[in-house]
Every structure is written in structure tokens, then in C-alpha cells.
Amino acid sequence: MVFDLAKCDGCRDCTKACTKMHFVPPMQEWIKVYEVEDNQAAGSYFLPRTCMHCDNPPCVRGCPVGATYKRTDGIVMMDQDRCIGCRNCIAQCPYSARFFNWGEPPHTPEEMKAAYSVEHNYPHRKGVVEKCIMCPEMLRMGMLPACADTCKMGAIYFGDEFEDAVTNGKGETMQFSKIAETGAGFRLMEELGTEPRVYYLPPVNRKYPSPEEKHMHDATKA
């Protein structure tokens, strides 16, 4: 997955689409958009974060029962049929990408109609850990994950690193190696050696009003 931070305008449609698709309980965002200001001199930008689907995942290493595991296609999966709720994976994850159902999550009738599958992780249950699973059911149908599919700005690209192609919700397909190289792609907390599979393109030459302008605009509107 590639996030082009120059395009993300912080509308959070991705979070809404994800929450809708997976019936994500309240207090969880499998994709969360942070507004980041690295220092006072620099302007702020929006940073969407999902599970990083690390190639060297600390959560998988730490799970005492193999309830979270790495699929051959790179997705870090989560099996709520096996999870014992010890939360070691939450302690292990440096990206805060994992959530625990502290109580019984509120259910919708639609959610309860579905049979549990490790590929969609609902109906949700209390006492187990959940996270972004990169919409395996969509991928099975050759579609983009819900967040990438819904992004109006086309800021979220998804694809196969070995095919060297990533596609966004506007149907624009790019050569991954090319945009990563020319766009100076980076990954979060590279220094920890987790080898995340989520790349970011820096927020330069933004394709949207800067967050500061947006805030001023919102303020005048209100």
C-alpha cells in the first residue's frame, strides 16, 4: 500500500468506508488519519495509518498461540477463533495498529447475519484483538481495499510489490518502484527493522489546500 501524502486532504472518507465495510466497533479505526506537525516551523499534514503489515511483524513473533500470522501474499491476518486476549501483540506493535474489544462490541443486525470468517473478522466479539486486515475478500474479487477504493483524492494506492504496480481509487495505475524512487517514498519507524509494507510519499507540492488554510476556511464557515 502507498499513501500519497501530497494528496490526502484529511477528509477521513477512508475511515468511514472501512468502518462501514467491516462493521468496525466504535473506538476503533482500522485506518486512522492523524494530523501531524513534525515541528513548529513546518506546516502540518495528514497521515493516514493502517496496520503496516510488516514483513518482520513483532505482533506475529509475540503471539503465544499463532492467532496472528503472515499470509504468503504479505497480509498480517488475525484469527479471532484462536486469540486468547492476552494483548501481547498490542504491547509488541510500535504502530498502535491493534485494538482489543474490552467489552461486547455493539452489533448491527446486518453484521450478525454474517458467519464469522477470518477474512472479514466479524461478527465482532469481546475479549479478542482486531486490526486492519487489508480487505482480503475484496482482493479475492480483484478489487481494492475499501479505503483505497473510496478515496476521492486518489491518495491511497494498493498493489502487488512483485508486479510492481499500484492502483488508486480513481483507477490510476502507477509503477510502484518508480513512484517510490522519484517520490522519495518512506516508511514509518524504519529504524525498528519491522519492514513495513506500507509506503508513504512525502507531503510536498500538496494537491489540496494546506490543513492551515482548511482550518481557517472551516473557521470562517462556522
Partner 1 sequence: MTVLAKAMLGGRAYRWWLTALAAAIVTGVLLWLRQWHQGLAVTGMSRDVAWGLYIGQFTFFVGVAASAVTVVLPYYLHAWRAFARVVILGELLAIASIVVSLLFVLVDMGRPDRLLNVLLHPSPSSLMFWDMLALAGYLALNVIVARAALAAEIDGAPPATWTRGLVLLSIPWAVSIHTVTAFLYAGLAGRPFWLTAAMAPRFLASAFAAGPALLILLCGAFRYDIGEEALCKLRLVMTYAMTANVFLALMEVFTAFYSGIPGHAAPYSSWTWLSGGFAAAALALALGRSRYAPAAVFASLAIDKGVVLIPAGFIPSPSGAVTPYIPTAVELGIVLAIWSVGALLVTILFRVAIAARELDAGASPQCLAS
**Strand order, beta sheet including 165-168:** 173-175, 165-168, 156-160, 2-4, 199-201
Residue 15 C-alpha cell reads as 475511515
In the complex, minimum distance from the CB of residue 191 to partner 1, in angstroms, rounded to a whole number: 9
Figure out which of the listed residues 20, 37, 42, 66 binds partner 1, where binding follows CB under 8 A: 66
Query: E strands, 79-155, where?
Result: 98-100, 129-131
What gap in Å lies between CA 116 and CA 112, rounded to an integer?
Answer: 9
In the complex, minimum distance from the CB of residue 160 to partner 1, in angstroms, rounded to a whole number: 27
In terms of CB distance, is 82 or 179 closer to partner 1?
Answer: 82
CB-based contacts of 56, cutoff 8 Å, min separation 6: 193, 194, 195
SS3 191: helix
Figure out which of the listed residues 16, 55, 74, 86 binds partner 1, where binding follows CB under 8 A: 86
Pairing mode, strands 98-100 and 129-131: antiparallel
Rounded to the nearest angstrom, the gap between the alpha carbon of residue 42 and the centroid of all alpha carbons in its chain is 25
Give yes or no for residue 94 binding partner 1 (CB under 8 A).
Answer: yes
Figure out which of the listed residues 30, 95, 122, 158 binds partner 1, where binding follows CB under 8 A: 95
Widest pairwise Cα distance in the chain:
54
Of 99-107, 133-141, 146-154, 158-166, which segment contacts partner 1 by CB under 8 A? 99-107
In terms of CB distance, is 27 or 204 closer to partner 1?
Answer: 27
- The pattern of x and - marking residues 120 through 149 that bind partner 1 according to CB under 8 A reads ------xxxx--------------------
In the complex, minimum distance from the CB of residue 89 to partner 1, in angstroms, rounded to a whole number: 9
- The pattern of x and - marking residues 101 through 120 that bind partner 1 according to CB under 8 A reads xxxx----------------
In the complex, minimum distance from the CB of residue 96 to partner 1, in angstroms, rounded to a whole number: 5
CB-based contacts of 50, cutoff 8 Å, min separation 6: 1, 30, 31, 97, 132, 134, 147, 198
Is the separation of the CB atoms in 134 and 146 below 8 Å? no
Give yes or no for residue 82 binding partner 1 (CB under 8 A).
Answer: yes
Of 5-13, 18-26, 62-70, 207-215, which segment contacts partner 1 by CB under 8 A? 62-70
- Residue whose C-alpha cell reads 506537525 in the numeric block: 37
Which residues of this protein are in contact with partner 1, per CB under 8 A? 27, 34, 58, 60-67, 82-88, 90-96, 99-104, 126-129, 189, 192-194
